[in-house]
Amino acid sequence: MHETTTLLVEVGALLFLLGLLGRLSRRIGLSPIPLYLLAGLAFGHGGLLPLNASEEFFAVGAEIGVILLLVMLGLEYSANELVGNLRSAAPAGLIDGLLNALPGAAFALLLGWDWVAALVLAGITWVSSSGVIAKVLGDLGRLGNRETPVILSVLVIEDLAMALYLPLVTAVLAGTGLLGGGIALAVAVGTVLLVLVVAIRYGNAISTFMSAKDPEALLLGVLGMTLLVAGVAAKLQVSAAVGAFLVGIALSGPVAHHATELLTPLRDLFAAVFFVFFGLVTDPRDIPPVLLPALGLAIVTMATKTLTGYLAARRVGIAEPGRWRAGLALVPRGEFSIVIAGLAVAAGSVEPKLAALATAYVLITVVTGPMLARLPDLAWFKRWVRQRGAAQRAQPAPVPD
C-alpha cells in the first residue's frame, strides 16, 4: 500500500509539474520538449531529487508515448499521399539523408566510437522534429506559405525513411549484426509495401470496422489495434514504432479524422512521459563532458539542415526568402532523435556517453531552432537577402565559348 501511495504522489507531482512547464513554454514561444527533458534530468539518476517508485510506470508510459507519436503521424497521411510525396520529394529526401546523416556518423567515428554508435548517431542528426516544426510554422503564420509544402515533403520522406531505419537499427542493437539488420530491413520494406497496397485498395473497408459515430468505441478500437499491432511488430523484430505508423496509414476518411481528435490528448500526455523518462535515465553529470562536442555537432548539422531546405525549395522554384524560411524551419531535432537514442539506451550495448550527447544535442537544436526560424522575418535579414539577390543579378552572364 505504501509503494502505491508513493507512486501516486510521484506521478501526480511530476505530471502537475509538466503541465506548468508546458504552459510556460507556450508563454515564451518555445517547444516544451527541452523543459520536459530538463525535468527528467532533475528527478532522475544523479538529479536533484531522484524518483524511484515511479520509474517503472514512466518506462511503460514512454513506450506507449512512442507508439502514439507514430500512429498519429500515420493518421496525418493517406497511403496515396505518401506514395505521391515519395515520388515528388525523393531527390530532396536523398539530399537530406546525405547532408545530415553522414555528419552524425562521421562525428561518432571521430570520437572513437564503433560503427553501431555511428549508425545510431547518424539517425539522431538526420531527422527533424515534425512536432516542433509544425508548431513553429503555426505560431509564425506560415502554414499557407509557398515553401511549406516543401518542408512537409522533406518531413514525410524522413518519416518513411524511419519506417525502414528503425527496424534496421533495432536489429543491429540487438546484436544480430549486419546480416540480421539486412533481414530486418527486408522484412520492414516488405511489410511497408504490403500495408501501403492494402491501405490503397482496402483502406475504406478497414475503416468501416471502426465507427466514427461512437467516440468511446472508436478510441478503444483504434488504441487497442495500435497497441496490438505494435506488440506483434516488436515480437517480429520489425519495431513497435513502425507497426504503429502503419496502423495510422491504414486508417482513412472520417475514422482517421475522428481518431486523430480523440488520440491527441493521449499522445500529448504519453509523449511528455516519454521525454521525461529519457531524462530520468540520463545522468546529468554525464552531460558537461559532452556539451562542447554536442554544440559542435549541432552547429554543423544545423547548417547542413538549413542547406537541405534551401536546396529543396530552390529546386521547385521558391524565391530566395522562402528558401531561407524552409531551411531554417527544418533545424530542430526532437522526438525521433530521442526515440533513436532511447532504443540505444535500452539495448545497453552502445557507447555510454551517447544518451548524454543526444540529450544535449536535442536541447541545443530545439531551443535555437524556433529562434532561427524567426530570422527571415527580421528587417536586417530581409535587407541582407535583397542585397544578396541584387549582387547575384548584377553578376555578368557567362560568355559562351
What is the tens place of the pLDDT at every residue in 161-215?
Answer: 877 787 778 777 776 666 666 776 677 677 667 766 776 676 666 667 776 678 8
pLDDT digits (tens, 9 = 90+) for 311-341: 999 988 888 889 999 999 999 887 778 888 8
pLDDT of 125:
95
pLDDT for residue 299 is more than 80: yes
pLDDT of 179:
67
Q: How many residues does the chain have?
A: 401
Distance (Å, whole) CA 335 – CA 36: 12
DSSP 136-176: HHHHTT-TTSTTHHHHHHHHHHHHHHHHHHHHHHHHHHTT-
Sorted by sequence, the CB contacts under 8 Å of residue 86 that are 6+ apart come out as 93, 156, 157, 160
pTM over 0.95: no
| Residue 200, in any domain of the structure | yes
CA distances from 396 to 274, 388, 391, 393 (A): 56, 15, 10, 8
Distance (Å, whole) CA 43 – CA 51: 6
pLDDT for residue 388 is more than 90: no
**How many domains does the chain contain in total?**
1
The angle, 0 to 180 degrees and rounded to 10, between the axes of the packed helices 215-235 and 240-250 is: 140
Q: Which cell is 146 given?
A: 509557398
pLDDT of 184:
67
pLDDT of 298:
96
What does the pLDDT average to over 109-137?
87
pLDDT for residue 399 is more than 60: no
| Residue 399, in any domain of the structure | no
| Residue 397, in any domain of the structure | no
**Residue at grid coordinates 531546405:** 309
| Residue 396, in any domain of the structure | no
What proportion of the chain, given as a percentage, has pLDDT over 90? 16
Q: What is the mean pLDDT of the chain?
A: 81
Task: Kindly indicate the confidence band of residue 303, based on its pLDDT and cuts at 50, 70 and 90.
Answer: very high
pLDDT of 65:
83
Nearest CA to 244 out of 186, 278, 195 is that of: 195
| Residue 388, in any domain of the structure | no
| Residue 400, in any domain of the structure | no
pLDDT for residue 401 is more than 60: no
Q: Which CATH number covers residue 9? A: 1.20.1530.20
Distance (Å, whole) CA 103 – CA 126: 9
pLDDT for residue 62 is more than 60: yes
Distance (Å, whole) CA 99 – CA 320: 20
| Residue 401, in any domain of the structure | no
pLDDT of 305:
96
Element housing 224 (H / E): helix 215-235
* Structural domain containing residue 272: 1-382
pLDDT digits (tens, 9 = 90+) for 280-296: 877 788 888 889 999 99
What does the pLDDT average to over 137-149?
79
Distance (Å, whole) CA 337 – CA 153: 19
pLDDT of 316:
85
In this structure, of 58-72, 79-93, 320-334, the range with the lowest mean pLDDT score is: 79-93
State the amino acid at position 383 in one-letter form.
R
| Residue 21, in any domain of the structure | yes
pLDDT of 169:
81
The angle, 0 to 180 degrees and rounded to 10, between the axes of the packed helices 115-126 and 148-173 is: 160
pLDDT of 176:
63
